[in-house]
A and B are shown apart, each in its own frame.
Chain A
Amino acid sequence: DIVMTQSPDSLAVSLGERATINCKSSQSVLYNSNNKNYLAWYQQKPGQPPKMLIYWASTRESGVPDRFSGSGSGTDFTLTISSLQAEDVAVYYCQQYYTTPAFGQGTKVEI
């Protein structure tokens, strides 16, 4: 099974500053037949279910602000919040859906 590891476990960022979260998979999640990375990012606010932000590693879900961006390929991925807003305080998870789905352990973003 593919294991997903996120870093850091938590980070504190000032309002308006950049937040960067890393995610590493134990095996490549790049599907060679279509050159897509089967990697998604979710945001979970307290008391709420997860909300998908990014899929195929870098495609923003409809309605997601453009301050959220995803990058990376193969085994190494990054979620960047370009200018942190108060409403972005949450736990962020990466997930691979290339094989049996697996989530990273989560990264808590605080101000």
Chain B
Amino acid sequence: SQTIHQWPATLVQPVGSPLSLECTVEGTSNPNLYWYRQAAGRGLQLLFYSVGIGQISSEVPQNLSASRPQDRQFILSSKKLLLSDSGFYLCAWSQGQGGQPQHFGDGTRLSIL
């Protein structure tokens, strides 16, 4: 069966520090991968998606970036965090053609001080 892992579960970082969140998927190949951010009481905002290794599409311009160095690995990064980067970050995967159900990790709660 397929599983998705996200870490860390919680993270507290000072303003201006770098960020690296990692997401890995097991039990499937060539998945579509997604990074979302969820602010308190808000819906999910799609940040990045990837349909293959090295292929990254950005939905929202900001100081975050994403990379996909391996088929089932998706990394969210920042060189300098802003206060507005606080939130709940979720990674998800889907299989096959567009519109298939997405499967989410348990998220990373990021607090910027």
A and B associate in one complex: no
